Amino acid sequence: MDKIGKYVRNLSVVALSALALAGCSSSGSQNTDTVKVGILQYMEHDSLSAARKGFIAELEENGYKEGEKITLDYQNAQGDQANLQTISEQLIGDNDLILAIATPAAQSLATASTDTSVLFTAVTDPLSADLVSSMEEPGGMLTGTSDQAPINQQIDLLGKAVPHAKTVGILYTTSERNSEVQVEAAKPLLEKAGYKVVVKGISNTNEVQDAATSLMKAVDAVFIPTDNTVASTMTMIGELSLQYKVPVVGGSTDMVDEGGLLTYGTNYEALGRQTAKMAIKIIEGADPAKTAVEYPETVSLHVNEEMAKKLGIDLAGLSVSK
């Protein structure tokens, strides 16, 4: 019995030592200074991706490098609402701070988050999307940057670039609140400028080609807001623009590069960088509830010269009325 008891005692010592070593190894591998940052992008298209890349680049340039001071968890919902909800709950549980790219992503995270800070970007109207109580003092766990570009100046550019236009079409996604807000603003401004306005809504990318074709057969120019679903199809819309000789004013610089004619719009890479600067403030102790939502600092005239040449439109000397 003594030998057995001694053997059992030795096993116990070995087991406890192993547990202690495992505990030291586990705690030693953790860096308490590392911030876990989740990123939820609504879908894949150039504007949203540019915002994400700008966000990451600005963090790195300010010392928050992946694998050192922060870890990044990037997820893309591919435009699927069910994916948004599932990914939101996962990111909320695993991260200290989350970046939401586009209005649907921000709305999904807003319903899932209770005590995790969420920054949004590429959101046109955070108020109407019920993300914040006010732009100056958001009042909750969410704040970020709006991508709202000056629609009145976009319409002014349309008139200068296409002076013969009498009828203007608007193409947008009916399920995106950010797009609805811009349509509600653009339609009366276009009518005030003397245009007849034809509005056509779609619900998914499969409807874009037929809707855009129908619209271009009936109008002289098309205005497309910063619409996530439509933006992902801009290459196809550009082809239709050339086929029907109907220029497109896009909501963002990336949309113009993919097939539009021009815009006075937001640079999304710069917007992502602007959002990263806000993220750093929150990481370092700022309260999101008291951190004002910011409008884009970089808004500029952007022209697709190749498209202008193919459409036979002279944009030399074009300027924006202030």
DSSP secondary structure string for all residues of 129-192: TTS-S-SS---SSEEEEE----HHHHHHHHHHH-TT--EEEEEEETT-HHHHHHHHHHHHHHHH
Crossing angle of helices 177-192 and 151-161, in 10° steps, is: 50
Contacts of 193-197 with CB under 8 Å at 24 or more apart are 193/155, 193/159, 195/165, 195/166, 195/167, 195/168, 196/166, 196/167, 196/168, 197/167, 197/168, 197/169, 197/170
What does the pLDDT profile of the chain (322 residues) look like in tens digits?
444 344 334 444 334 333 333 443 333 333 457 999 999 999 998 899 999 999 999 999 999 999 999 999 999 999 998 999 999 999 999 999 999 999 999 999 999 877 999 999 999 999 999 999 999 999 999 999 999 989 999 999 999 999 999 999 999 999 998 899 999 999 999 999 999 999 999 999 999 999 999 999 999 999 999 999 999 999 999 999 999 999 999 988 889 999 999 999 889 999 999 999 999 999 999 999 999 999 999 888 999 999 999 999 999 888 877 6
**In whole angstroms, what is the distance from residue 261 CA to residue 258 CA?**
9
Q: What CATH fold (topology level) applies to the domain 35-147+267-297?
A: Rossmann fold (3.40.50)
* Total count of residues recorded for the chain: 322
Rounded to 5°, angle at Cα 229 from 223 and 232: 90
Structure tokens at 58: 């600005």
Specify the DSSP class assigned to residue 296.
-
Q: Which CATH architecture has domain 151-266+301-311?
A: 3-Layer(aba) Sandwich (3.40)
Specify the DSSP class assigned to residue 66.
B
Q: What pLDDT, on the 0 to 100 scale, is given for residue 322? A: 64
**In whole angstroms, what is the distance from residue 201 CA to residue 227 CA?**
11
63: left (phi over 0), alpha (psi -120 to 50) or beta: left
Beta strand pairing call for 142-146 and 117-123: parallel
Count how many Cα atoms sit within 13 Å of the Cα of residue 169 in the half-sphere of its side chain: 20
**In whole angstroms, what is the distance from residue 98 CA to residue 117 CA?**
6
**In whole angstroms, what is the distance from residue 33 CA to residue 11 CA?**
37
Place of tokens 């949203």: 48
List, in order, residues 6 or more apart from 48 with CB less than 8 Å away: 41, 42, 101, 102, 122, 228, 268
Contacts of 130-138 with CB under 8 Å at 24 or more apart are 131/106, 131/107, 132/293, 135/292, 135/293, 136/292, 136/293, 137/289, 137/290, 137/292, 138/288, 138/289, 138/290, 138/291, 138/292, 138/293
Q: What pLDDT, on the 0 to 100 scale, is given for residue 27? A: 32
The terminus-to-terminus CA distance of the chain in angstroms comes to 96
Q: What pLDDT, on the 0 to 100 scale, is given for residue 28? A: 33
Closest CA to 134 of 146, 152, 122: 146
Q: What pLDDT, on the 0 to 100 scale, is given for residue 14? A: 39
- Asked if 35-147+267-297 and 151-266+301-311 have one fold, the answer is yes
Q: What pLDDT, on the 0 to 100 scale, is given for residue 26? A: 34
Domain ranges in the chain are 35-147+267-297, 151-266+301-311
Q: What pLDDT, on the 0 to 100 scale, is given for residue 212? A: 98
